Amino acid sequence: MYDIIIVGAGPAGLTAALYAARANKKIVVFEANVPGGQIVNAHMVSNYPGVKSMSGSDFATNLYNQVIDYGVEVKFETVLSIDENKNVTTDKGSYSAKAIILAPGVDNRKLRIENEDKLIGKGVSYCATCDGNFYKGKDVAVIGGGNTALEDVLYLSDICSKVYLIHRRDSFKGAELTLEEIKKKNNVEIILNSSVTKINGIEKVESIVINNLDQEQIINIDGLFVAIGHEPKNIMFKNVVDIDDKGYIVSNDGVHTSKKGIYVAGDARDKILRQLTTAVSDGSIAATVAIKEMEN
């Protein structure tokens, strides 16, 4: 029996683990993939207070090592289900605790178009900082209009011969400063009001078909980087806690779920801002509240 089970080893989950460990609680963190969550893919973290500049992977590694140094048990197992009695079933066993903190994070949202799944790893990527170097000196396209897409373009423009930035709207939601930097790049072409409708290629990506105001255009590229947002990884919890129509865990105060003793932290909950700062804040609050209520 654990005091707290934490689902997810992203910034929110690891921060919750850090706070719980400092309170001398017996905890375990479950992670299906690599620790660090989405921040691992960030080329550079420059908006975290007190950290002038650091790669996302370095930040994640430092946080993970800090948690491990406190003796936190991290199990690389996939959580399959939880129940209202705070029992957790993974692909390797069953566990129980006095409290559960759900911090599973999010997955990359897909385009859901022809050949996308077939060509993942063969030209289709969801992480420019992970795979960008494979396309050095080649032509690539980035799909999206938020901060991730803009940062991906800026990163790829220093590696690739040509970068197309394709967005379905006529304006961007990402940071204006980043967009201004992109506009200074001679090898970046911005295509607005356009959607990618098909990916062409048999063994690898060869080209994409885009629709612009009902006119089709084919662009020859070697790599396609999809940065159109994320989807919460909450499907296995829907029978225990309330989830909204977008798949996010409902929390009226940002920490409690609809089930007593089960808490939420990070990008998987309904919230206004999904950033590194809000993730670590969520994690520290969730652990603190869980411990306080556990002891009362």
Q: Which residue is listed with tokens 């990070």?
A: 266
Residue in 58, 83, 130, 242 annotated catalytic: 130
Q: Is 118 left (phi over 0), alpha (psi -120 to 50) or beta?
A: alpha
Which residues are registered as beta bridge partners of 223?
Answer: 140
Q: Which residues, in sequence order, are CB contacts of 18 under 8 Å at separation 6+?
A: 63, 66, 67, 70, 72, 283, 284, 287
CA–CA–CA angle 176, 177, 180 (5° rounding):
85
SS3 264: strand
Residue in 3, 131, 152, 267 annotated catalytic: 131
Residues counted in the chain: 296
> Does 160 participate in catalysis according to the annotation?
no
Q: Which residues, in sequence order, are CB contacts of 223 under 8 Å at separation 6+?
A: 123, 124, 125, 131, 134, 135, 138, 139, 140, 141, 160, 205
Residue in 127, 152, 160, 222 annotated catalytic: 127
SS3 268: coil
Burial of 137 per CB tally in 10 Å (0-12, 13-18, 19+): exposed
> Does 131 participate in catalysis according to the annotation?
yes
Kindly report the number of other CB atoms within 10 A of residue 213's CB atom.
6
Contact call for residues 233 and 105 (beta carbons, < 8 A) = yes
What's the DSSP call for residue 110? P
What distances in angstroms separate CA 29 from CA 10, 14, 34, 37, 256, one per listed residue? 10, 8, 12, 13, 19
Q: What residues act catalytically?
A: 127, 130-131
